[in-house]
Chains A and B, each alone.
Chain A
């Protein structure tokens, strides 16, 4: 018998601190698989966010740095500009990337920094206990939107991929999900491509991963993944929003 599925080497042999059923673990694994399969773990430098994935610096076996809240794309810029031969990636949540770090995100994309961003969107602040995120859905109940997100009072959730795709700068912007096997397989391909783009010097590649937060959504893990299908994906449709190289080839 041969091993057909095992933990990737780039994911450290440590118990993950995430809540039961939290898809962060799946997304971590997909990133580690991409590092393994492309053989780039030894060259990789990862940037952990502030949020639930703050301790990602322990979980990835490559060199890692912990960034201030939202600043990961700026930190990545600093590293990549100094060490263009290394593979630099950030791993950020929705509060980190789309709220406090929106300026850093947009400008890194506009500059087409040759970095890879894994953007985990689960429509809520997890680490701080379930507050409204910039991606919280209209009507969604959180600790700071206890009567449901009122778009007249606090605005509409931001579709980051669609917005970034309007910029000339970035190479590759795509949205995937990890709520079932088929979607996880697609997410894996997208994440690998986002790293491959960097290896080939193509530029800024961002994969928005629609995830779940069973704990703060107040659901079982299984219910949460179903809610991704029923509520998240209609507002945040999966798809490739920008692929400059593919568009060029098509011409």
Chain B
């Protein structure tokens, strides 16, 4: 039966992970995501699961690597500086083609930065972060409800494609409280014939590995991986369109920025500006097609980001620079106001970029 509860965004992730069948959590404290660890520390021992506070982010992602290799649904969570430390493990997970679920509740950077909300890890999440040819599925929730639903989705996608799914949230959604509904969802189980279970003399030994000393072999592995990534790009892009039917201008924003942007879109409509919003829900795969199509009918785009402008590069690529793309951005933990976004929209109408 569906269940309606009031929850913090971070707690919604933790509860949803448990509902998705995750029984193993390895983490290291960092603001502003520590509620996830606290929730897991409370719940896991009571449901036969494992909560372990590791000695570092590096250790925790490697515990995830081990647990995933052992065939388990497993997760870790952190915030920006901690994700930089986890980058090593993310690369190994990708190179070994095994699933994982990772949460980044972003804060301002670079360096130690601050503890206020940010979206400045967009590049790190969507373009790599770790070394080598690889991708992660990146999901960008814009509400506490989506923190939960995209967590359940993320675990499924990770298992389906044997890759890491990352929730790229921010401090605001992490800390925000909203009523949400947990549906009784059926959790799909995936066969993991590669898992380390001990062969018990019944099969040849399994090896989980990312080392290929012969370049032609490593290239073949990377080619295979990118064939799989192509399927993800074709099938898994998610986005929301808002007031786009008759839109002459298009705002592009994800996560918390999209909520501010929506208010600005409504305000602009009241002023008679035909503007809509496209909100990427998956940042990788990036919803290229819908933006490409939008470029055919709108006069200009406005990107709204809590960074110096990172997603804007993907918007330009997706639209082949067919239309101008303006940028409304705040950085370092600052959030643009609806008025700032409205001003950005009005500038686009005036042709000022």
Chain A: residues with CB nearer than 8 A to chain B?
Answer: 42-45, 47, 54-55, 57-58, 60-68, 71, 74-79, 81-83, 86-87, 103-104, 106-107
Contact = CB atoms under 8 A, between A and B. Distances in A.
Given A42-B199, A75-B65, A65 B209 contact: yes
A86 B88 CA distance: 26
B52 A83 contact: no
A87 B196 CA distance: 11
B53 to A, nearest CB: 10
Contact of A74 (B24, B54, B196, B199): B54
B210 interface: yes
Interface of B: 24, 26, 50, 52, 54-56, 58-60, 62-72, 74, 88-89, 92, 96, 196-202, 205-211
Contacts of A45: 70, 196, 198
B67 A65 contact: no
B68 to A, nearest CB: 8
Contacts of B88: 68, 71
Contacts of B66: 47, 65, 74-79, 82
A77 B209 contact: no
B58 A71 contact: yes
A240 to B, nearest CB: 26
A86 B197 contact: yes
B103 to A, nearest CB: 17
A78 B207 contact: no
B75 to A, nearest CB: 12
Given A68-B62, A68-B92, A103-B55, A82 B67 contact: yes
Contacts of B24: 78, 81-82
Nearest to B64: A78
A78 B198 contact: no
A42, A63, A64, A107: most-surrounded residue (chain B CB, <10 A): A63
Given A77-B59, A79-B196, A103-B56, 18 more contacts: A60-B205, A62-B205, A63-B196, A64-B205, A66-B208, A67-B62, A68-B92, A75-B62, A77-B52, A77-B63, A78-B63, A81-B52, A81-B67, A82-B74, A83-B198, A104-B55, A107-B54, A107-B59
Q: Is the interface of B mostly helix, strand, loop or mixed?
A: mixed
Given A54-B211, A78-B64, A81-B67, A63 B55 contact: no
Nearest to B66: A78
B24, B67, B88, B205: most-surrounded residue (chain A CB, <10 A): B205
A237 B191 CA distance: 49
B223 to A, nearest CB: 21
Contacts of B92: 67-68
Contact of A44 (B56, B68, B198): B198
Contacts of A66: 96, 207-211
Nearest to A47: B66
A120 B94 CA distance: 29
6 contacts: A43-B198, A60-B205, A63-B206, A71-B59, A78-B68, A87-B198
Contacts of A106: 55
A62 B196 CA distance: 9
A62 B199 contact: yes
B199 A65 contact: no
B54, B66, B198, B210: most-surrounded residue (chain A CB, <10 A): B66
Contacts of A54: 211
Contacts of A57: 207, 209
A81 B67 CA distance: 8
A61 B63 contact: no
B74 A78 contact: yes
A74 to B, nearest CB: 4
Contacts of A83: 70, 196-198
A74 B26 CA distance: 10
A244 B55 CA distance: 24
B54, B196, B210: most-surrounded residue (chain A CB, <10 A): B196
Contact of A78 (B67, B197, B200, B209): B67
B161 to A, nearest CB: 20
Given A42-B198, A45-B196, A78 B26 contact: yes
B74 to A, nearest CB: 7
A47 B211 CA distance: 13
A97 B127 CA distance: 31
Contacts of B210: 66
A65 B208 contact: yes
B197 A74 contact: no
A42 B62 CA distance: 24
A83 B54 CA distance: 18
B200 A42 contact: yes
A25 B154 CA distance: 43
Contacts of B54: 74, 77, 107
A198 B275 CA distance: 65
Contacts of A55: 211
A63 B50 contact: no
A74 B58 contact: yes
A75 B71 CA distance: 13
A48 to B, nearest CB: 8
A42 B197 CA distance: 9
A81 to B, nearest CB: 5
